[in-house]
Amino acid sequence: MTSDLHIQFFGTSSAVPTKERGLSCLAVFFGNSMAFFDCGEGAQRSVIQAGLGFNKDCNIFVTHMHGDHVAGLLGILQTMAMNRREKQVGVFGPKKILEFIRESRDALNFGLTFDVLAKEVRPGLIYNEGSSKYRVYAEKSEHSDQSFAYVFEEKEKPGKFHPEKALKLGIPEGPLWSKLQHGEAVQSPKTGRPVKPEQIVEPPRKGRRIGISGDTRPTKLLESFFKGSDVLIFDSTYSDEHQANAVENLHSTSREAAALARKAKVRQLILTHFSARYRSVSHLVRQAREEFPHSIAAKDFLVYEVPERS
């Protein structure tokens, strides 16, 4: 049984798919909502193959407008329509995302059974619907086209309520407990004294954070952006022996991804976006672990459960 917050990868190759790896796509599942990050070609087939439905609350976040990250977006939307989806879908990405959706629909003359709310991304808070249990932030990454990294952040949780403390202070179980849990001070029926929430309820707990780099060189800006993330999913296109390629093509090596993860004090690093030249990525994982031991490689259909913070 999966956690209430988990990640599933649907494509982990860079630029060119392989027999084992599709093009960039992953989704974060949280309760009854899902958030896709990039939709490379064939994304909808992978999602169907994984046995997932298309009727959850859904937003799609695109890191940049390269084909291996966005060519599958129309397929995802069309597949949702074929499944008679009615709920609105939010699509967030660089400025060109608006033009891409509009012109593609016009050229292909396809209709949808739901509304698409497309928004241009700028650095900062980009998604924070009041009813949603999560928010999303964006920051600029360093790639050959306008590109963004994202942080998916669970909203703060209420602090732990201590019923034994409430009873000791003369507050019986019932409506007064609810008021205390919602931050209201109450009067004890037993003692007549005021009781404040902080006497019984612990401070709110910070939510879990998932960082998604997209395609990028490692930068100080991203190191700060991903600080303290529970999970960091980072561009690891190349191994050490192809460092020059990483610099030239504005990607990262697995070792560079791990060095950034260590400096950002993240809890877990997941390497992805591997060059198709590597039949095995075990040496990329080994190089990463020399910098940051808590490093693993993503593979298509991998499910990673994000544990609760202690």
pLDDT digits (tens, 9 = 90+) for 225-260: 999 999 999 999 999 999 999 999 999 999 999 999
Q: Give the residue-averaged pLDDT of 138-157.
A: 95
Is beta strand 33-39 parallel, antiparallel or unpaired with respect to 57-61? Answer: parallel
The whole model's pTM is what?
0.89
Closest Cα to residue 261, out of 245, 274, 272? 272
Q: What is the pLDDT of residue 205?
A: 85
Q: Give the helix ranges, DSSP H, for the chain.
A: 43-49, 67-70, 73-82, 96-108, 163-168, 175-181, 220-225, 243-249, 254-263, 282-291
Task: Provide, rounded to the nearest whole percent, the portion of the chain with pLDDT above 90.
Answer: 86
Q: For residue 4, what are the CA distances in angstroms to 1, 34, 310?
A: 9, 11, 16
- Name 89's bridge partners: 58, 116
Specify the residue for token string 């993330």. Answer: 229
Q: Which amino acid is at 186?
A: V
Predicted local distance difference test score (pLDDT) of residue 105: 85
- Residue 160 reports pLDDT greater than 90: no
Tokens coding 248? 């030239």
Q: What is the pLDDT of residues 76-128, one digit of tens each?
A: 999 999 999 999 999 999 999 999 999 988 888 888 999 999 999 999 999 99
Q: What is the pLDDT of residues 178-211, one digit of tens each?
A: 999 888 999 999 899 999 999 999 888 889 999 9
Q: Write down the pLDDT at residue 93.
A: 97
Look at residue 1 in the predicted model and tell me its pLDDT: 43
Catalytic residues: 68
pLDDT for the residue numbered 69:
97
One-letter amino acid at 217 equals: R
CA separation for the pair 12, 257 (Å, rounded)? 15
Tell me what pLDDT residue 232 has: 98
243 three-state secondary structure: helix
68, 24 contact by CB (below 8 A): yes
- Average pLDDT, stretch 14-39? 96
> Residues 119-122: contacts with CB within 8 Å, 24+ apart?
119/90, 119/91, 119/92, 120/93, 120/94, 120/95, 121/61, 121/92, 121/93, 121/94, 121/97, 121/148
Examine the pLDDT at 296 and tell me if it is beyond 50.
yes
Burial class (CB in 10 A: 0-12, 13-18, 19+), 18: middle
- According to the model, what pLDDT value does residue 111 have? 86
CA distance 34 to 87: 13
Domains in the chain, please, with CATH?
A: 5-157+205-305 (3.60.15.10), 163-199 (no CATH)
Top-confidence residue, 222 or 161: 222
Say how far apart CA 206 and CA 153 lie, in whole Å: 9
Distance CA 36, CA 121 (A): 15
